[in-house]
A and B are shown apart, each in its own frame.
Chain A
Amino acid sequence: MNMPLLSIRNLHVNVADREVLRGIDLELPAGQVHAIMGPNGSGKSSLSHVLAGKPGYAVTAGTVDWQGQDLLSLPPEERARDGLFLGFQYPVEIPGVNNAYLLRAALNAARRARGESELDAFDFLSLVKERMALMKMDEAFLSRGVNEGFSGGEKKRNEILQMLVLQPRLAILDETDSGLDIDALKVVAGGINSLRSPERAILLVTHYQRLLDHVRPDRVHVLARGRIVKSGGPELAHELEQRGYDWLAEEAA
């Protein structure tokens, strides 16, 4: 097998003075989809944030290898330009900033970093409109402010749209399924599946297994109290659906 795209070893992280991740080990090879599941407060979002480089998280031990580089030493914008994408659980509103404008700036930042030429407005629009059709989004979204006045479901669709335009090597999707009705869930799942390819990897962070009915993971990891307490195949998600998390949390204690 190839060298994994992402390799996390013994990762310990504090927020303020509280330890939120207590020794995470995880290998994510290219071409695979892994799901991180776990109860509220288990550290799922912390893991997503640390990988994306959000300020306020102190790594006290461990390493993260990212395509042969030390991920933790890179500033967040470089991680992004290198192809690490975080789909936010709560996408923030940026009033007055045109959705299309941000997306084009993001795409061109990545293209510049790869030594490619910037896309002009015309090429960008045809690209983004094609991806919007896939996400069943109205083109009017482009001229609205970033997440401004979007419903919860619209925000999540918009995150996936951004992902499809940016085509990241690694997509970390933090609770992308929350707040979606069943039709929207199918559209979002379709978007995620369309990104699957041998050179990319996806990390689905979720509380429920219902997204996993539509995006079948290669591996499922259960996070409890800042540790991965169990890993398995997709059948593990179903087991969790039936038995809940408590039995695992007890095992971890």
Chain B
Amino acid sequence: MSRDPQLESVLGRGYQHGFVTDIESDTVPPGLDEETVRFISAKKQEPQFLLDWRLRALERWLTMKEPHWAGVNYPPIDYQAISYYSAPKQKTEGPKSLSEVDPQLLATYEKLGVPLHERARLAGVAVDAVFDSVSVATTFKERLAAAGVVFCPMSEAVRTHPELVEQYLGSVVPYGDNFFAALNSAVFTDGSFVYVPPGVRCPMELSTYFRINAAKTGQFERTLIIADRGSHVSYLEGCTAPMRDENQLHAAVVELVALDDAEIKYSTVQNWYPGDARGRGGIYNFVTKRGECRGRNSKISWTQVETGSAITWKYPSCVLRGEHSVGEFYSVAVTSNRQQADTGTKMIHLGANTKSTIIAKGISAGHASNTYRGLVSVMPGATGARNFTQCDSLLIGPDCGAHTVPYIETRNPQAVVEHEASTSKISEEQLFYCLQRGLSEEDAVNLIVSGFCRTVLRELPMEFAVEAQNLLAVSLEGAVG
């Protein structure tokens, strides 16, 4: 394949599916400069502070270089060939019923056990035609409002809660943090905003499932979650079914802030389109996720199950500033076919008696490569800090690879940092044992893999855990034999 068509498929988002927006001005031509940023900000009717912030981000981004230290390979991306604003698709542009949806996609949903109405939603069928989304969304909003929880699209929060956005946006991931974060800061179009007031325990799991109006957010999402003193919130991100998203480059930023005694649990099941068996197509997932335990006794917990994307570059991290704060990272990253994942976490211990736990499980099959890259950093003030890290890799077949790259920096002699790592293969003995009990080879592999991931999967909210397990099964289909 020559480079041009390949590049085109990487960059030609929005065009390859041939939809044309009704109004010319809802799509900007490809390219990124000050005008693009002003256009986006004006479209969103943003306050001046945000426009200024975006422009500073752009200015910084123009001086930055794309990072290439991660263990991933991909053809160069021409950032000037991407269109940075496209109005959300109208409902009428999607398929009108399930009969118009790719049967292969529906078969996968069925295997995952996604309910029928949700399959339709995931496949992009106009929601109103399928079930009464309005009533679901309304009940949900009423319950949250009664508790004082703000949960809305970022673009709405910018107008309804500008003071919170101004105070917290970029306070964990500054616009100049890294190349992709700077790009996101300049051009982000939407995402989620959550604010939980002091002492409130959010009455339900917040999930993008319910945020129906923002289901079509683009490739540069921006999410900000603030848990005020003594509050508690659990947020579920992503959908558990394979989304054939037309986006190719996905550069999101997620910021979490936990104040005194607050707790945020952030769970992700990521299953973007991984490309086909020969490595064509798929999402480049370059995401910056970071939480700051700003207050005493605060806690941030990241749990992720990553099975999708052609390339994953993602390090959900915790800055443990408050004394006695706790950071956790539980991860399962699955790569098969030609997928590449470079993922891990950073735990930055600033406050005294801060604790962090890292459990990372990498699974590789086919020709995939899987790298765990992690940093545990203990600063001089972090007396009594403790970290426990465990990285396990499981290889399926002879052609895949797994790498573990742990960095440990300790500038406090009293810190306790423990690291354990293992690499194993699914043994012939285990496989034969399961076959001898009548399981098919596929079921046997799934069983062994889910056992391997158990310590992470049990961190997921219950209903999510079941779907994640099904997802692992689908991802590894045909990985053996």
Q: Tell whether A and B belong to one assembly.
A: yes
Residue positions of A touching B, CB distance < 8 A: 52-56, 75-77, 80-81, 85-86, 88, 91-92, 94-98, 101-103, 105-106, 109-110, 113, 145-146, 162, 166
Contact B437 A162 (CB under 8 A): yes
Contact B440 A77 (CB under 8 A): yes
Instruction: State A85–B433 Cα separation when bound (angstroms).
Output: 11
Contact A97 B448 (CB under 8 A): yes
- Chain A residues whose CB sits within 8 angstroms of the CB of B429 once the complex forms: 92
B210 at the interface (CB under 8 A from A): no
Interface centre among B430, B437, B451 (most CB of A within 10 A): B437
Contact A96 B451 (CB under 8 A): yes
Contact A94 B432 (CB under 8 A): no
Contact B451 A94 (CB under 8 A): yes
- Chain A residues whose CB sits within 8 angstroms of the CB of B434 once the complex forms: 94, 102
- Chain A residues whose CB sits within 8 angstroms of the CB of B427 once the complex forms: 92
Q: Once A and B bind, how many residue pairs between them come within 8 Å at the CB atom?
A: 77
B26 at the interface (CB under 8 A from A): no
Contact A76 B435 (CB under 8 A): yes
- In the complex, 5 of the A-B residue pairs with CB atoms within 8 angstroms, ordered by the A residue number, are A53-B435, A92-B429, A96-B453, A97-B448, A166-B437
Closest chain A residue, CB of each to CB of B448 = A94
Contact A91 B454 (CB under 8 A): no
Instruction: State A48–B435 Cα separation when bound (angstroms).
Output: 15
Q: 12 more A-B contacts (CB under 8 A) besides A76-B436, A94-B434, A106-B439?
A: A52-B436, A54-B432, A54-B436, A77-B440, A80-B436, A92-B429, A96-B450, A97-B448, A102-B439, A103-B437, A162-B437, A166-B438
Closest chain B residue, CB of each to CB of A112 = B438
Q: How far is the CB of B140 from chain A (nearest CB, A)?
A: 31
Instruction: State A81–B440 Cα separation when bound (angstroms).
Output: 10
Contact B448 A86 (CB under 8 A): no
Contact A80 B438 (CB under 8 A): yes
Instruction: State A53–B432 Cα separation when bound (angstroms).
Output: 9
Closest chain B residue, CB of each to CB of A80 = B438
Instruction: State A174–B454 Cα separation when bound (angstroms).
Output: 31
Contact A96 B455 (CB under 8 A): yes
Contact B436 A97 (CB under 8 A): no
B46 at the interface (CB under 8 A from A): no
Instruction: State A94–B424 Cα separation when bound (angstroms).
Output: 12
* Residue tally, chain B, CB below 8 Å to A: 23
Q: How far is the CB of A143 from chain B (nearest CB, A)?
A: 12
Interface centre among B427, B447, B450 (most CB of A within 10 A): B447
Contact B432 A109 (CB under 8 A): no
Contact B452 A95 (CB under 8 A): yes
- Chain B residues whose CB sits within 8 angstroms of the CB of A76 once the complex forms: 432, 435-436
B156 at the interface (CB under 8 A from A): no
Which of B437, B454, B455 lies in contact with A80, CB distance below 8 A?
A: B437
Instruction: State A92–B437 Cα separation when bound (angstroms).
Output: 13
Instruction: State A145–B441 Cα separation when bound (angstroms).
Output: 19
Contact B430 A94 (CB under 8 A): yes
- Chain B residues whose CB sits within 8 angstroms of the CB of A113 once the complex forms: 438
Contact B438 A109 (CB under 8 A): yes
Knowing A94-B451, A95-B452 are in contact, say whether A77-B433 is a contact too (CB < 8 A).
no
B100 at the interface (CB under 8 A from A): no
Instruction: State A97–B452 Cα separation when bound (angstroms).
Output: 8
Closest chain B residue, CB of each to CB of A79 = B436
Instruction: State A55–B428 Cα separation when bound (angstroms).
Output: 9
Interface centre among B430, B436, B439 (most CB of A within 10 A): B436
- Chain A residues whose CB sits within 8 angstroms of the CB of B433 once the complex forms: 88, 91-92, 94
Instruction: State A174–B48 Cα separation when bound (angstroms).
Output: 78
Q: How far is the CB of B303 from chain A (nearest CB, A)?
A: 16
Q: How far is the CB of A108 from chain B (nearest CB, A)?
A: 9
Contact B455 A77 (CB under 8 A): no
- 3 smallest beta-carbon distances between A and B, as pairs: A96-B451, A97-B451, A96-B454
Instruction: State A102–B383 Cα separation when bound (angstroms).
Output: 46
Instruction: State A160–B147 Cα separation when bound (angstroms).
Output: 55
Closest chain B residue, CB of each to CB of A103 = B437
Which of A80, A94, A95, A98 lies in contact with B435, CB distance below 8 A?
A: A80
Instruction: State A95–B449 Cα separation when bound (angstroms).
Output: 10
B245 at the interface (CB under 8 A from A): no
What does the 1/0 interface line of B454-478 toward A look like (CB < 8 Å)? Answer: 1100000000000000000000000
Closest chain B residue, CB of each to CB of A145 = B451
Contact A86 B438 (CB under 8 A): no
Contact B447 A97 (CB under 8 A): yes
Contact A105 B443 (CB under 8 A): yes
Closest chain B residue, CB of each to CB of A87 = B436
- Chain B residues whose CB sits within 8 angstroms of the CB of A88 once the complex forms: 433, 436
Q: How far is the CB of B437 from chain A (nearest CB, A)?
A: 4
